[in-house]
Amino acid sequence: HFVGVLTALQAADPDLIRARRWLDMGVGSGILSGYLLEQGAAAVVGTDLHPAAVPNTEFNLRSHLPEVATRFTGYRGDVWEALPASERDQPFDGVVCNAPLFDMQPRPGHPEDWQEQAGAGFSMVRRFLEGLSTHLAPGRSAYLRIHRADSEGIYSLRHLAEMVADLPLEARPAL
């Protein structure tokens, strides 16, 4: 679904991805990073808290997209703290984040929980949003995928609106 949204956005703006520097926060297996690189991103930086995510992304890119794999750099860590100072020096032209789903605190010693659990009060998403304006180039966009459901413990557009209310950001539903 996320790739479909990026494809539609790129159809409207062919320069959205091409020759730009992107951040893929919560890189997982690297699907979004691979897509961005295939579409001509100059570079993609991927971060993830899960210890297997960045190595899996690097393996997948080398195995399936070797012609673009050298334009990917990955770091393990939590939200913005994953980025070394050298990556923080210049803002990103675009950011994608496929956020964890549930408003739950991961179990200590179980980093795999972060794939689905965003911390109490959606702390991961809150920290992502709070640091976004510092790391995103002026006039550029970030794309945060949340699951649209209003049941208790799952994100909703209302939750997102509350999180950005006091930040220099504008939240809009995707296509």
Query: What pLDDT score does 118 carry?
Result: 62
- Judge if pTM exceeds 0.95: no
**Residues ≥6 apart with Cβ < 8 Å to 60:** 29, 30, 34
Please name the residues in contact with 91: beta carbons below 8 A apart, sequence gap of 6 or more: 134, 135, 136, 137, 138, 140
Grouping H, G, I as helix, E, B as strand and the rest as coil, residue 16 is coil
Q: What is the pLDDT of residue 89?
A: 87
DSSP SS3 for 147? coil
Q: Closest Cα partner for 76 from 117, 121, 131, 114?
A: 114
List, for residues 46-88, the tens digit of each pLDDT value: 999 888 999 999 999 999 999 999 999 999 998 899 999 999 8
